[in-house]
Amino acid sequence: MVVANQKGGVGKTTSTVNLAASLALHGARVLVIDLDPQGNASTALGIDHHSEVPSIYDVLVESRPLSEVVQPVPDIEGLFCAPATIDLAGAEIELVSLVARESRLQRAIQAYEQPLDYILIDCPPSLGLLTVNAMVAGAEVLIPIQCEYYALEGLGQLLRNVDLVRGHLNPDLHVSTILLTMYDGRTRLASQVADEVRSHFSREVLRTSIPRSVRISEAPSYGQTVLTYDPGSSGSLSYLEAAREIALRGVGVRYDPQHAHTGSQNSQQSMSEGTQ
């Protein structure tokens, strides 16, 4: 699943790491690929990502095997991360001259030998070559939308890019999930934005919305997701419920190198059993 929105500050990274943690806590094997040069997903998962650490940059530019950069996330069994370092900031330029520049991440994932239930790719807030690599590698796009003014601004361009990638590079790509973030039920604006998004994308929008929460904002500064930082908070419970929706929709596809793209019943079953 490609988590993308070129608008910054909408909760992309926050949603990526907390959905991944929610799925892993219910028994799924989940890999987070941090494609944002800021490395915020790596920080939130407690993964070291200074410039000397093997990272997703080495995979994309130096053709290093993905297995050599993936690290297990402390405190959450079954959750793994391929970190981003600041080197990734130059990758957009360096990729331009490389062969098959749009599909380098796809080939790295296909060569990865550990079975996984979900791969979540956190994209930078832009529509450059890093995001294109994510879209070529992914099967589905998850779009976090902030319940604020201008929420849908720029969304049309993102959808056009998804169509372009589907038409030329990845015919399986589609927008499967839209997650409403930073929802404040006390404001009329949040309700209006939610209604507008649901009217445009009734099938894709999850029933669960993520509230505006201080605990969600605090967690990354402790190198944690909100699931481990404050398990009983409204933000934690909302992400658990959103992850449950994703699992029950059958969104996840188990990546197994022996049987690529077969069955995600294990993760769906564990999520449904764990949250009933």
Q: What pLDDT does 231 receive?
A: 95
Mean pLDDT confidence for 142-152 = 89
Beta bridge partners of 152: none
Mean pLDDT confidence for 195-220 = 93
Burial class (CB in 10 A: 0-12, 13-18, 19+), 134: buried
Mean pLDDT confidence for 81-110 = 93
Mean pLDDT confidence for 168-175 = 95
* CATH number of the domain encompassing residue 179: 3.40.50.300
8 A C-beta contact, residue 23 and residue 271: yes
Mean pLDDT confidence for 90-99 = 91
- The answer to the question of residue 14 being in a domain is yes
Q: State the total domains in the chain.
A: 1
Task: Reply yes or no on whether the pLDDT at 118 is more than 70.
Answer: yes
Task: Reply yes or no on whether the pLDDT at 254 is more than 70.
Answer: no
- The answer to the question of residue 16 being in a domain is yes
Task: Reply yes or no on whether the pLDDT at 87 is more than 60.
Answer: yes
- The answer to the question of residue 270 being in a domain is no
**Dist CA 151 CA 200 (whole Å):** 13
At which residue do the structure tokens 């990354």 appear? 220
- The answer to the question of residue 275 being in a domain is no
Mean pLDDT confidence for 103-120 = 95
Task: Reply yes or no on whether the pLDDT at 262 is more than 80.
Answer: no
**Dist CA 72 CA 59 (whole Å):** 17
Residue 211 structural domain: 2-253
Mean pLDDT confidence for 254-273 = 43
- The answer to the question of residue 271 being in a domain is no
- The answer to the question of residue 274 being in a domain is no
Q: What pLDDT does 261 receive?
A: 38
- The answer to the question of residue 259 being in a domain is no
Instruction: Report the DSSP pairing between strands 30-34 and 140-146.
Output: unpaired
Residue 266 C-alpha from the chain's centroid? 20
| Model confidence pLDDT, tens digit, residues 21-49 | 999 999 999 999 999 999 999 999 999 98
pTM of the model: 0.89
- The answer to the question of residue 120 being in a domain is yes
